[in-house]
Structure formats: C-alpha cells, structure tokens
Structure 1
Amino acid sequence: MAYVIPAPSIASVPVKGAAAGDHFPVHRIYCVGRNYVEHAIEMGHTGREPPFFFLKPADAVLPAVEGKTATMRYPSLTQSLHHEVELVVAIGKGGKDIPAARAMEHVWGYAVGLDMTRRDLQNEAKKQGRPWCIGKGFEQSAPIGAIVPAGQAKVGPDTLIELKVNGTVRQTSRIGKLIWSIPEVIEHLSAAWELAPGDLIYTGTPEGVAAVVPGDLLSARIEGVGTLDVKLADR
C-alpha cells in the first residue's frame, strides 16, 4: 500500500526484561475518571458513581526505561499542570462485552503511569459544558514506565502506589482502594468499546493531585510493577 504522505510511526512502550528493542505497540489509551474515593472527594464528588472514561491519543505516551529519567516538556497554554499517578493495565487479547469473571484473561501486563493534566483548561471546559480533551489529551500527557508481563508482576489489594515530587511524597495509596476493580473496569469498558490488543487502561489516581512546575522531578512507583521518573523541562 502506498500513502500520499509519510505514515506516522506506531507508538510503543518498552517491555521490562524483554530482548533489546522489544516493545508493546499502543492502540488506544483509555483512562478511568475518579476511581479512588478520596480523589473523588478532593475533586468535589462522593460515592461509588458509575465508572466513566476518557481517551488520550496513542502517541501521548512518553515511554521511560526503568533507572533512567524521561524528560517532559511543560505543555503550552496552561499555568496549572497536575500529576496523577496510576496503575496502567496493558491489554493483550481484545474482546467485546467481556465479563468481569473472564477479564484478567485479557491482561498482558502492567506499568506505572502518569496522567498529566492541564487542570486549568480542564476546569474551564467543565464550567462551559464542553469536552475537556484539551486538558487531558495533549503531547506527552501519558508518561509510562516499562510494561511488566502479568505473570511477572505482583499486583494485589495491598500493592502500594506512590508518587514523590522532588523527594516529597505527594500521593500514596493501595490498589485495593480502587472503587472499580480492574476486572470491573474491563467489563464496563468493553461494553462501550471493543477492546483490542495494544490498548492501555490508566485505572485512576489516588488523592493528592497537585501542580508541578519546570524543574520538578516526579518519581512514581508501584510495588511489584516498577518505577517511573520524569523531569519537567521548560516549554
């Protein structure tokens, strides 16, 4: 097949422990909103509301190799860039209307990720009743560490998820505090979209989201999965 313009490259994420050059190709990025109770409260909501989702473009990923620091440009238009640390689920087997009882059969692996948010732009869009893609779906808005195959990861209710900024803890919680569990998220997602190999699911962030500025070092980790270090650069 010939293209009339150069075809874009496929976004991908390195795989932990794989042969050099082996990557996980990214199809879509789904994100779960307000999936920890305390974060829902700090965003002005309460209770176990039905799950809702938003998407980021595949090339929003900013892959990082464990042990090395990735550099993220401070994005344009915003004066309030917020961090949101999240467990990322990598889908290896697609499907539609996947029941929660079978959902884990579709999980290829896990990673630690950051859902970076232009909070001021998101909040303004909310006030005007407009879509808030501009607050979530910009370049480099989805930093992510190497993906760990599911059989090598250790993820359970007591798994620690944590983010430090310049060495100070900003966010800390346990995966068991997810309002909607990973199987439930996959069940709900696959009812709305047909999941495909290469999909990434950012499963939600705990409380403690806050602004960061150029020069800050963000250090995220999830026990049994890995770490992610991102340095914020000037625009």
Structure 2
Amino acid sequence: MMAVTNVYCVGRNYKKHAEELGNDVPTEPMIFLKPSHAVCAMDDGTVELPQDRGEIHYEAELVLRIGRAYEPGIRVEDLAASVSLGIDFTLRDVQSKIKAKGHPWTAAKGFRNSAPLTAEFEFPGLEALGEAWFSLRKNEETVQRGNIKNMIFDLQTLVDYIGTHYGLGEGDLIYTGTPEGVGPTRAGDVLELYWNEEKRGGCTVG
C-alpha cells in the first residue's frame, strides 16, 4: 500500500444512516480522525480486530486519496489521486459509553486495523461516481449499498471543508461516510466490498 498521512473520516453523511442510529442529521460536516496505523489492506487476508471490547460494527465507505495540496477553488477531480473502498470499523459499545460521557471517539474508532482499504482505482469523475454503487457483502449477503448521490455533503463540500479547516495534502485519505445497513461483525465473518458488481477487496475478520 502507498504511504498514508492523515486519515479523515466523515460521520453521519447519509441521512438514513444517521436515523438508523437515532442520531441528529448534521448541519455541517462531522469530521473525526483515525491514526494512519488503522489502515490495512483488504487483500482477502485476515484482519485482526479486538474481540474483547463489545460489538464491532462494519461501516462501508467510498474513500478518496488526495494527490496534491489543497488550494481554495480546486476541484475535487483535480485534488483526488484515486478512489478505493474501505470499512470504518467501530467499537459500538465503547462508542456509546464515551459519547454519553462527552469523551473523544478515538477509543471506538482509532484502534489498529479499524480502517481496511481495497486496492485503489483511478478517479473516474463525479458523473461516473454518481452512476456507480458500492456495496458490502457479509458472508455473501449484501448488507450495505450506497451511492454518493445520497450523501448529505457532497465530495466537493467535504474537500473544501476539510481543506479549509484542517488542511489536505498528498497521501491523505478521506473516508466519506457510510450508508444505512451498518451492523455487527464477529470473528470468522467474510466481508467483501464491491464496486457495482465487481469485487474490489475482501477480508476475514479475526
């Protein structure tokens, strides 16, 4: 895998996902970070996850890799070097506890291997992205299916917001949010990410 610098993640960027968890729909992008050590390859191997900290939920996402430094007015097409699919694994029981206390999400979101990623492919343009669907299959059953047209904040809005507030540079990743259908995964589950009907990567949960 290519070197990763910052890993930005967007929370609650699909209305139905926010609703399924009983969360308010945000009025501006909700950004959190994962360590670069959270990223690992979805190359049909085993991804080891902490199985002793309550339920682990999968959240399938479209991921942008940034290819150059952000500048005001730059188009997302010119900023993104490539696209991939990824999973934002979440320790849901841990998250519920720390949210109730008003604590940061790092313990629930930033653990090692919490951001597996498929092989990259060329950014096809916004129109082509909008015509495609990404999906997650769990043990051969489709559990999530998403399209960027259903995002609350579109890709241009996301890169402008993150670039302006935090900065964006070569090697940064943006996990752009998950559609509805998130749920628990356990050791032994096989998770596979698809772009339309083409498998892009998979893993066995360890």
Q: Which band: TM-score by shorter chain?
A: over 0.9
The verdict on how the C-alpha distance between 1:129 and 1:57 changes in structure 2, with shifts beyond 3 A counting, is same
The verdict on how the C-alpha distance between 1:121 and 1:28 changes in structure 2, with shifts beyond 3 A counting, is same
1:158 aligns with 2:131: yes
RMSD of equivalent CA atoms: 2.0
Alignment of 1:1-235 (within 5 A): 13=1, 24-47=2-25, 49-65=27-43, 69-75=44-50, 77-96=52-71, 98-99=72-73, 102-150=75-123, 155-223=128-196, 227-233=200-206
Deviation at 1:42, TM superposition (A): 0.9
**Could you tell me how far apart the structure 2 residues matched to 1:226 and 1:215 are?**
19
**Could you tell me how far apart the structure 1 residues matched to 2:9 and 2:159 are?**
11
Structure 2 residues without counterparts, runs of 5 or longer: none
The verdict on how the C-alpha distance between 1:53 and 1:219 changes in structure 2, with shifts beyond 3 A counting, is same
The verdict on how the C-alpha distance between 1:224 and 1:93 changes in structure 2, with shifts beyond 3 A counting, is farther
**Could you tell me how far apart the structure 2 residues matched to 1:26 and 1:53 are?**
18
Deviation at 1:225, TM superposition (A): 8.0
**Could you tell me how far apart the structure 2 residues matched to 1:152 and 1:146 are?**
18
The verdict on how the C-alpha distance between 1:94 and 1:174 changes in structure 2, with shifts beyond 3 A counting, is same
Paired-residue identity, %? 33
Comparing 71-80 with 151-160, which one deviates more in the overlay?
Answer: 151-160
**Could you tell me how far apart the structure 2 residues matched to 1:43 and 1:199 are?**
28
Q: TM-score, normalised by structure 1?
A: 0.82
Q: What secondary structure, in the 3-state scheme, does the structure 1 residue paired with 2:129 have?
A: coil
* Amino acid corresponding to residue 42 of structure 2 in structure 1: A
How many residue pairs are counted as aligned between the two chains?
Answer: 206
The verdict on how the C-alpha distance between 1:153 and 1:175 changes in structure 2, with shifts beyond 3 A counting, is closer
**Could you tell me how far apart the structure 1 residues matched to 2:122 and 2:190 are?**
27
Q: Larger C-alpha radius of gyration, 1 or 2? A: 1
* Amino acid corresponding to residue 205 of structure 1 in structure 2: T
Comparing 106-115 with 56-65, which one deviates more in the overlay?
Answer: 56-65
Q: What secondary structure, in the 3-state scheme, does the structure 1 residue paired with 2:75 have?
A: helix
Deviation at 1:157, TM superposition (A): 1.7
Q: What secondary structure, in the 3-state scheme, does the structure 2 residue paired with 1:127 have?
A: helix
Deviation at 1:155, TM superposition (A): 4.0
